[in-house]
Structure 1
Amino acid sequence: MIRALPKSLPNHGGNIRQLAGQAGLAEDELLDFSANINPLGPPAYSRQLISACISSLSHYPDPDYGILRQAAALVCGVEAGLIVAANGSSELIYALPRALPVKRAVIPAPSYIGYAEGMRAAGVLIEEPETGDDLSIDWSALEDLLRDGDLLFLGHPNNPSGRLLDMQKLEAAARRRPAVFFVVDEAFIDFVENGVSAVPLLKQGLDNIIVLRSLTKFYAVPGLRLGYGVASRHIARLLDGQLPPWRLNTLAAALGARVINDRGYAAASRKLVAEERRYLTEGLALMPGLEVLPGEANYLLIRVSAALGAAPLRKDLLRRGIALRLCDNFSGLENYLRLAVRTRPENERLLAELSRLLCPAKKSRIRRRTPALMLQGVASDAGKSIMTAALARILLEDGIQAAPFKSQNMSLNSFVTNSGGEMGRAQVVQAQACRLEPDTRMNPILLKPCSPVGSQVIVNGQALSNMTVDEYIAYKPQAFSAACAAYDSLSAEHEVILLEGAGSPGEVNLKSHDIVNMNMARYAGAQVLIVGDIDRGGVFASFIGTMAVLEEWERRLVAGFIVNRFRGQESLLAPALEYTKDYTGCEVLGVVPYLADLGLPEEDSVSFKKGLFAQSRPSGDEGVDICLIDLPHISNFTDFEALRLEPDVQLRVVNKVEELGRPQAVLLPGSKNVLRDLEYLKRSGMAAALKGLAAAGIEIVGICGGFQMLGREIADPHNIEAGGVVSGLGLLPLVTELAADKTLRRQVFIHRVSGLEVRGYEIHHGRSTSNSGPVFDLPPASTADAGACQDSVWGSYLHGIFDADSFRHWFVENLRRRQGLAGYAGPRPVYDLEPAFDRLAAVVRQALDMKRIYQLLGL
């Protein structure tokens, strides 16, 4: 939106409140290029360190600031006695004319206006010699101007030009003019790659050199006010005598002592600034009427043509929510603008707006981002998958075609797409909510745990290899590139992308190599909603704690919270909602009620292990009792979701032999580590119990890994799992070998006994052979595995077999007949997720602030 602006504008950059007010925006809506602050933001530990110091605020700071001065001395390679701590380098500028016998201040123009402001405040005469057209210093002319008792201010690099001083000429001038005080302002030197400081000249005996350092710009904490000076011991004492005691607060002093030696942060900052400075310079060179002057700092000085005018251009940008520094109060820079180097998305936005203003007929080279929103959680199983599905259906109902996306999913429940790719079940369900065909681009990285410290890594639907944790961390940069490419391709085809995170963005041990939470949100340009499960308790502490460990750039992505699974009177939450907003700055955008028996498949094994399948026994004694064996490495337990709908079925999850009883059927599910789970069955006594049930004629059904376990032998020559050869349960005349390649395909078969069609998908390394009867009739020339059956035991590789209503109904009725029961008199259910999606969408739409969510999407 373009707004009218008042005539007066601030003289300094960074007055965010005034600029935002003039632009008619909230402060967090203004993109501020007027202040030259590190685009990387404060070091990640800043909030943690400041929080830890809160208890110290009841005491005065150390008046000598010994720890801070010692840290600065170590960086500069001088004694701590030469360091003067100050409330920003501005405090030192104002103290210099009081501390030194100054007769006149010499400030080459253009220079930082704070020098002249400080001298005027002290009543010092000011001389402002002009620099050349290229804004470089004429050292010969400058030396001729200097007189004993002068205080000469030199920016290194200069603000606003960004030019560096010639150290040799500085040294020569300082030696020839020992009665002149040379003040070298190095507020921005840390941004310069291989920048050379003037401190070594001081160490060489040039006591007339005073170096000023500002920590607030490089470490992105200007609100704390923090700087120091380096001077001869005599001048340092004089300066210190002009400064008030306790001039630095405890928080600033503690943070300064920590950051000043952070070489990793410094290197990352310089790398980012160098890259983005080049990017901005190249982009601005394409804009008619703008000229970028040479410089080395984290800002650019732009000469604007007279036809354009710097002031009108700046106002045009401010109307569009972008603030630049107008340089008309710098001597000789009436038609110049200064702009800070910021992050790539921010720099892209600036260039795009300039292109619209200056090159309206030219198509922008910046690709418009597809609107995106990400759902993250305070923990696993907080409900982010379901919230993503709900929003997907709501958007569909409103005529907007969204698509789900989760860059990395760790799950043992997977699905095979029509193209033969493997992906996580959660994104399959979300695709169904969108009424889209599942696509591996929706879940480009799938991790299937196969041991406590390793997983099979599946990239774009195809198995890559098994990796240990360390191996996968090393591979993550490639994985992230693949995820970003998948996202770009998917987002180009849809109106909105709904992203899902994993676990919690607050996992501090994982953040450095995150590819699924905040880094993915940043890549997608997505705002983030954090979901918390209030039914577990502690949800508001979880919201606050999560925000407390996020870095500043991560916090800026968070647009609000969603309280999930609430039971009770919502008005009772009001104090907690207000407290959370006050503490974090983010609102709770909705309280979603607890939804029992939602009827949608769960992907997370956390839900399964917590008793997702727990059911009460059907009324009367005529129900069908089915046991599902809980394996340590269970996978694709969603194969049996549909059986839970049958009114006469009690589906029991069993992990102890004594819980088995005498059911009508036992289901042996898939496993991501068949050999280890087979050993578990033998060790626990479950294997012997299953053999006893089979001998008694109880129906035993194995799917995929469970099918392999029913056989006589499993060989693993390629070490896919544990390697070697192990004996199976021996309930089927079946021999399996785990092949190097994985079979991934969709299938349509005819069940031989019932004559009914079944559909499903195969995901397995196993190649099984059997001389028993087949379970399915295959199409002519088919090479698929037909399964195996013998007496009451049968199995197959086909996942999703019970999703077919007709076959599932037949299966239950057949169990009833074998039990001697009459057919079920009532109607049998249809396994259809559409009513569940519609019910979910209706409840969530009512609970959430959908107007705000549409605003976040820009719709």
Structure 2
Amino acid sequence: MADHRIAIRTCGGYPGLDQSYFRVAVRPQEDNRALVSALEQVLAQARTTDPDRRNKNNSRNSRRPARVRSIMFVGTGSDVGKSVLVAALCRVLLQEGIRVAPFKAQNMSLNSYVTRDGGEMGRAQVVQAQACRLDPDVRMNPVLLKPSSDVGSQVIVHGRPVGNMRVAEYVRYKERAWQEVCRAYDELAADFDVLVLEGAGSPGEVNLKSHDIVNMRMARYAESPVLLAGDIDRGGVYASFVGHMEVMEEWERQLVAGFLVNRFRGDSSLLAAAHDYLLKRTGKPVLGVLPYIRDLGLPQEDSVSFKAGLFDKPKPDQEHVTLALIDLPHISNFTDVEPLLAEPDVDLRIIRRAEDLGYPDAVILPGSKNVINDITYLEESGLAARLRKLAARNCEIVGICGGFQMLGREIGDPLGLEGEPGSVCQGLGLLDMRTELAPEKTLTRRQGTHAPSGTPVHGYEIHHGVTRGRGEPILVFDDDTTCGLAADRVWGSYLHGIFDSDPFRRWFIDRLRREKGLEPLQGPGATYDLEPALDRLAEVFRAHVDLDEIFRLLDL
């Protein structure tokens, strides 16, 4: 101000920014020249008076640290196994004694998680963090998109929602999101020896490349070698590899270090001719052929595998209970029921049509990103009528988060978060309660007790709704707050992950067994623990991937 008559206004009051950011107004050309000249003089003076400044630029405390070792997995499309491959390498590096963390710049998924500090991030990066034995950190997934319709999503940056955006609006917002992505990456890089990055979808989607913030642009920013993975179980994997190299620009091709063939069933030596062709055509080697792994035991990233029938399992060959999970159009956090798949006496059926519902021992209504749309779907499909009839027959009906809201009498949307502003949607009417969608999103971790059973429960809440009703709460948390309601055999709560608790899950199943005349399960039930699955995954990765080349790419 004294030397150049320029005032600096910091952005500490802006969401997502701090005092290290400042505003530059668009001024006439002579003003801009004065600003540039002033900056040149100030920075030159700083270099002169602080000889250690250039060294600080390479320290772990600088905003843009020296290049951290990194490697990136991109894919020939969605659901080719990128998330699992990242988790596998993370666990391998952890086993080697390396401080490693995962990173995905932008994730589109309705499976999300709440961190200890109340931030929201993609569930896949949570699993990858577990592979590193780290607490999940929103810096690992700085941008999360939660689709609320075919053309729009809720946009979450650094764990907090910044608004609902249609596609064109988000494309305009992306450059701002990119700055947040770079900031998150730099901060995370300062804390670890290696970052394992994951792309999204495919880097060959030419319609998206101009505003890419998650695939090759991210790899270039991180100075990261790239491995292109493809799912051979789908077919056409080698044509896809070649096609991706063809549509890439030269700088993108230079970043690609090789290919990974995923989900192969058979003798990998039979692929030698294809690999020779690929090397001759692209100049890039195949660095691994990973087998198809059945019953991996890890939560899925998004609904692609779920919709494709991943949860469809044969009936148990012993006495069991039958649970029906309603597949909602906007289903979210369907991983809530994954622990039930591990139980030997549970037949979990995925229901998409009213005529397939039948007479299960219990029905689970899962979370939803658009409750109003999904309750309309239940009514129009006939599923709502069937659920009311089952409730009248004393069938147990459970609602989790959005499913819990659907069990009430009505859902109000005064601000138009999911429908028309001021709209009111009728619920199933199975619980005496009303929900109003609120602008502030509840994001919190929970731990407490399931009151009817006395068993411990834990999990997290992610919801816009505020629910009020009559009845005794079913969950009592350690901070003396409560959640959920029950009426006869109908109950629900906002707690995602309630079935992760082994004691509660076993109580829930054994109660259903007793009600159908069966004795409780003899012997221990399942233990929901991802550690054995992650170690098994690392073992498979070590056996089928050229680790020496991976370590060379990482300068290890």
Match of 1:651 among 336, 339, 348: 348
* Map of 2:419 onto structure 1: 722
Check if 1:563 corresponds to 2:261.
yes
Match of 2:272 among 550, 574, 587: 574
Q: What is the alpha-carbon root mean square deviation over aligned residues? A: 1.9
Check if 1:450 corresponds to 2:148.
yes
CA-CA distance at 1:478 after TM superposition: 0.5
* Map of 2:27 onto structure 1: none
Match of 1:821 among 511, 518, 527: 518
Percent of pairs identical after alignment?
A: 60
Letter in 2 for 1:495: D
Query: What's the CA shift string for 1:462-515, capped at 9, x where partnerless?
Result: 011000001100000000100110000011000100010000000000000000
* SS across alignment from 1:403: strand
Match of 1:674 among 368, 371, 392: 371
Q: How many residues align?
A: 505
d(CA) in 1 for partners of 2:478 and 2:345? 34
* Map of 1:747 onto structure 2: 446
d(CA) in 2 for partners of 1:548 and 1:571? 26
Check if 1:856 corresponds to 2:553.
yes
Check if 1:380 corresponds to 2:78.
yes
* Map of 2:493 onto structure 1: 796
CA-CA distance at 1:401 after TM superposition: 1.3
1:525-544 matches, within 5 Å, as 525-544=223-242
Match of 1:663 among 353, 360, 364: 360
Match of 2:337 among 637, 640, 643: 640
* SS across alignment from 2:483: coil
Q: Relative contact order (alpha carbons < 8 A, sep ≥ 6): 1 or 2 greater?
A: 2
* Map of 1:496 onto structure 2: 194
Q: 1:559 to 1:691 in 2, by over 3 A?
A: same
Q: 1:461 to 1:360 in 2, by over 3 A?
A: closer
* Map of 1:431 onto structure 2: 129
Check if 1:524 corresponds to 2:222.
yes
* SS across alignment from 1:374: strand
CA-CA distance at 1:603 after TM superposition: 1.4
Query: What's the CA shift string for 1:35-68, capped at 9, x where partnerless?
Result: xxxxxxxxxxxxxxxxxxxxxxxxxxxxxxxxxx
Letter in 2 for 1:599: G
1:229-308 matches, within 5 Å, as none
* Map of 1:601 onto structure 2: 299
d(CA) in 1 for partners of 2:397 and 2:290? 41
Match of 1:420 among 118, 128, 142: 118
Letter in 1 for 2:303: S
CA-CA distance at 1:363 after TM superposition: 3.8
d(CA) in 2 for partners of 1:607 and 1:779? 36
Check if 1:734 corresponds to 2:445.
no
Unaligned runs of 5+ in 1: 1-274, 288-358
CA-CA distance at 1:781 after TM superposition: 5.2
* Map of 2:468 onto structure 1: 769
Letter in 1 for 2:370: N
d(CA) in 2 for partners of 1:711 and 1:765? 15
Q: 1:398 to 1:778 in 2, by over 3 A?
A: closer
Letter in 1 for 2:535: D
d(CA) in 2 for partners of 1:592 and 1:649? 30
Q: Is the CA contact (8 Å cut-off) linking 2:446 and 2:477 kept in structure 1?
A: no
* SS across alignment from 1:708: helix
Check if 1:507 corresponds to 2:205.
yes
CA-CA distance at 1:780 after TM superposition: 5.9
Check if 1:618 corresponds to 2:316.
yes
1:117-516 matches, within 5 Å, as 363=55, 365-366=57-58, 367-516=65-214
- The structure 1 segments of at least 4 consecutive aligned residues displaced by more than 3 Å after TM superposition are 359-367, 778-781
d(CA) in 1 for partners of 2:259 and 2:431? 52
Query: What's the CA shift string for 1:765-794, capped at 9, x where partnerless?
Result: 000001022111344653xx5101001000
Instruction: Report the TM-score, using the length of structure 1 for normalisation.
Output: 0.58
d(CA) in 1 for partners of 2:308 and 2:399? 23
Q: 1:387 to 1:676 in 2, by over 3 A?
A: same
* Map of 1:40 onto structure 2: none
d(CA) in 1 for partners of 2:178 and 2:124? 20
* Map of 1:705 onto structure 2: 402
* Map of 1:834 onto structure 2: 531
Structure showing greater radius of gyration is 1
Unaligned runs of 5+ in 2: 1-35, 59-64
Query: What's the CA shift string for 1:165-208, capped at 9, x where partnerless?
Result: xxxxxxxxxxxxxxxxxxxxxxxxxxxxxxxxxxxxxxxxxxxx
Check if 1:694 corresponds to 2:391.
yes
Letter in 1 for 2:273: P
Comparing 412-421 and 364-373, the one that deviates more:
364-373
Letter in 1 for 2:359: R
* SS across alignment from 1:487: helix
d(CA) in 2 for partners of 1:403 and 1:781? 35
d(CA) in 1 for partners of 2:405 and 2:524? 35
* Map of 1:787 onto structure 2: 484
* SS across alignment from 1:430: helix
Letter in 1 for 2:262: N
Query: What's the CA shift string for 1:219-273, capped at 9, x where partnerless?
Result: xxxxxxxxxxxxxxxxxxxxxxxxxxxxxxxxxxxxxxxxxxxxxxxxxxxxxxx
* Map of 1:809 onto structure 2: 506
d(CA) in 2 for partners of 1:595 and 1:696? 41
CA-CA distance at 1:825 after TM superposition: 1.7
Q: 1:737 to 1:589 in 2, by over 3 A?
A: same
d(CA) in 2 for partners of 1:440 and 1:651? 32
Letter in 1 for 2:235: G
Match of 2:290 among 585, 589, 592: 592
* SS across alignment from 1:809: helix
Q: Is the CA contact (8 Å cut-off) linking 2:263 and 2:290 kept in structure 1?
A: yes
d(CA) in 2 for partners of 1:780 and 1:388? 36
CA-CA distance at 1:418 after TM superposition: 0.2
d(CA) in 1 for partners of 2:177 and 2:369? 21
* SS across alignment from 1:499: strand
Q: 1:780 to 1:595 in 2, by over 3 A?
A: closer
* Map of 1:239 onto structure 2: none
Q: 1:780 to 1:537 in 2, by over 3 A?
A: closer
Query: What's the CA shift string for 1:401-435, capped at 9, x where partnerless?
Result: 11000010000000000000000000000000000
